[in-house]
Amino acid sequence: MGKKVLWSLFVLAVLSFSAQAYFVGNFSFEDPAAGKLTNWTDVPFWSSDRVAVNSGVESDWPGSTHGIYSGYLMADDPSVWQLTNNIIIAGNEYTLLVDARNNYTAVGHAKLGIMLYFDHAGTRTPVALSIVDLGNDWATYSLSFAAASAPVSIGKQIGIEFINVSTPASWVGIDNVRLIPEPMTMLLLGLGALLMRKRS
């Protein structure tokens, strides 16, 4: 196989990976770029089951890991979720990555609930759930789901959900939400290695 063909395949894979790695709409909460919002109503792609009292997006405190804005969730406010346009494919594994931190906790530890779900006739059906303890600095947390573990989900849309499960009077920050399908990254690595081998 010629170098030009290999390079073309690699570029196509990178473009495909980039599109799929950021399956999440408004993944770093940059829209609508209208200052601090205290609800999810005006935040594109993100929803909550009832109007939040004091959750949404902000650009100053506590900073961000991608872009200018980040999301924040108050304890006792509803979860925030997004049903992506991506269909669960048999044999794939999906990894959700989110940067998160404790913005403020009056008592105890800041805890973030992270969920992957599939849409079943308008109902969010969980397939993976984790509750993580957050520190005071931004860190990346992950949650994975293999389609084979829930065959009923295959062919359905995959969604993501976050909730602050800390004690009252606490806030957590979230940013840079990524949903990465496997084995896309393995394909990328394989093509990259093949290209490097051909060039040497």
Q: How far apart are CA 162 and CA 2, in angstroms?
A: 46
The pLDDT of residue 14 is above 80: no
pLDDT in tens, 113-132: 999 999 999 999 999 999 99
pLDDT attached to residue 60: 86
Please name the residue ranges forming H helices in the chain. Answer: 3-21, 184-199
pLDDT attached to residue 75: 96
- Under the banding of pLDDT at 50, 70 and 90, the label for residue 138 is very high
Looking at CATH, the fold of the domain delimited by 24-181 is given as Jelly Rolls (2.60.120)
pLDDT attached to residue 109: 87
Residue with tokens 């979860």: 79
Neighbours of 127 (CB within 10 A): 21
Q: Is the CB of residue 27 less than 8 Å from the CB of residue 19?
A: no
Computed over every residue of the chain, the mean pLDDT equals 87
Domain ranges of the chain: 24-181
- Those residues whose C-beta lies under 8 Å from the C-beta of residue 8, and which sit 6 or more positions away, are none
Q: How far apart are CA 40 and CA 57, in angstroms?
A: 8
pTM for the structure as a whole: 0.83
Structure tokens at 126: 């969980």
CA distances from 97 to 6, 10, 114, 115 (A): 30, 24, 10, 11
Q: Is the peptide bond before 181 cis (omega within 30 degrees of 0)?
A: no
